[in-house]
Every structure is written in C-alpha cells, then in structure tokens.
Amino acid sequence: MNLSDFLVVSALLFMIGAYGAFTRKNAIAVILSIELMLNAANLNFLSFWRFLHPSSMEPQIFVLVGITLAAAEAAVGLAVILNIYRDFGTINVEDISLLKG
C-alpha cells in the first residue's frame, strides 16, 4: 500500500464518476456521479498530504472546500432539477434540449 495505489483508486473513482455523469439519463444520477468525482479529488489531496507533505495544511483546506462545494452543489443542483421537473415534467437530461445549434 503506497501512494500509487491510492492514486490509482482515485483515478478509477474519478473516471467511474465521469462515466456516470456522461451516460446517466436521470439528472439526479448525474449529480450523484459528480459527487463521486469530487470524492476522487478529495482522496487525491489526502493521499498527497499523507505521503508527501504531512505537515502542510493546504490539502486539508482544499478537502474542506471540496466538501463544502459538494454540499452547495447538491443544494443548487437539486433546486435546478426541481425547477426542470416543474417546467418539463421530466428529469431525463436527454429530453431537455430545446436549445441547440
């Protein structure tokens, strides 16, 4: 178990999240996937902190910011989706494409 192992796990987690964000039809599932991506970034920060710069404070602050952001994004995102649900009667991302070209 070393730094590389953690980095590989976080890279995989990030890409799984990205995959979900790109392919899920349900808008809420897209937000869930984005949360996975944010978690991957946080995991990265903490691994670097632990293995490379254990006395540095920056990664921890970044993780806090990341978590705050996740919470804020969840709140705004769900409100946006609720709004979409009211206007369109669906939350399928594919069906919401009035604007194009």
Partner 1 sequence: MNSIDSHLPFLIMSALTLGSALVVVRVRNIVHAGFWLLPCFLGVAGLYALLQAHFFVVVQVLIYVGAILVLMLFALMLTQDVMNPNKPQTNRMSLPIGLFCVVFAAGVAAILTGHQWMNSRDVILPANVQTRQLGQALIGEYALPFEIASVLLLAALVGAIVLAKSEKEPAPLPLPSLEALPDSKPE
Partner 2 sequence: MPNDYSSLHPIILLTVLALFIILLDIFLPKKKPAFLGWLVTIGGLIILLIDWHSPDAKLWDGLVNFTSYSRAFDTIFLLTLITVSIASVAEEGAMSFRGEYYGLLIFSTVGLMLIASSGGLLMLYLGIELTSMCLFTLVGFAKREKRSAEAALKMFIIGAIASAVMLYGISILYGVLGSTQFDRMSLAVARLDAAQSMALWLGVAFTLAGIGFKITAAPFHMWAPDVYEGAPTTITAYLSTASKTGGIAALLQFILLGMHSALLEWTPIIMLLAVLSMIVGNLVALVQTNLKRLLAYSGIAQMGYIMVAIAGLQATNGSMSVASAYVYLLLYSFTNVGGFLIAQAIADVTGSTEVSALKGLHRRSAPLAFGMLIVLFSLGGIPPLAGFVGKIYLFAAGWNGGQHLLVLLGAIVSVVSLYYYLMVALQVYIKDPEEKSRITVHSSLSAAISICVVATILIGAYPRPWVELGQYAASGLQRVSSMNIARTK
Partner 3 sequence: MPIIWLIPLAPLIGALIAGVLALTRKAEKVAPIFTIAATLYSGYIALFLHRGYASATWLTIGSSYRIALDVNLDALTFTMVCVVTLVSALVQMYSIGYMENENGYARYFAYVSIFTASMLGLVSADNLFQLYVCWELVGICSYLLIGFWWFKPSAANAAKKAFVVTRFGDVGFLLGVLLLSSAAGSFQFTDIAHTMHAISMGELFTPLVSARTFLWLAPLLLFCGAVGKSAQFPLHIWLPDAMEGPTPVSALIHAATMVAAGVYMVTRLFTLFAYVPVVTETVLVIGMITAFLSASIAIVQNDIKKVLAYSTISQLGYMMLGLGAMGTVIAPSVSGVYTTGQTAAMFHLTTHAMFKALLFLTAGSVIHALHHSSDPNDMRSMGGLMKRMPITAWTCLAGVLALAGLFPFSGFWSKDAIFGALREASSKEPVAMFALVVAIIVAGMTAFYSLRLWLMTFWGEPRSEHAEHAHESPWVMTLPLVILGFLSVFLGGYLYFGDRFANSLTGLNMPTEPLNPALAGISTLVALFGLGLAWKLYAVRRLEKDPVTSLPSSVYSFLVNLWYMDAFWNRFGAAWVVALGGMVAWFDRNVVDRIVSGLPAWVCQQGGLAIRKTESGQTQSYAVTVLAAVSFIIVTLLWLTKYLPGPMHITMITH
What is the footprint of partner 3 within residues 77-96 (CB under 8 A)?
93-94, 96
Closer residue to partner 1, CB minimum distance, 89 or 101: 89
Residues 6+ apart with CB under 8 A from 57: none
96 in contact with partner 1 (CB under 8 A): no
Interface pick for partner 3 out of 7, 9, 18, 38 (rule CB under 8 A): 18
d(CA 78, CA 90): 14
Q: Look at residues 65, 50, 57 and name the one whose alpha carbon lies nearest to residue 10.
A: 50
Q: Which of residues 33-92 bind partner 2 (CB under 8 A)?
A: 34, 37-38, 40-42, 44-45, 48, 52-53, 56, 58-59, 61-62, 65-66, 69, 72-73, 76-77, 79-81, 83-84, 86-88
Q: Cα separations (Å) of 21 from 42, 61, 69, 93?
A: 18, 26, 17, 11
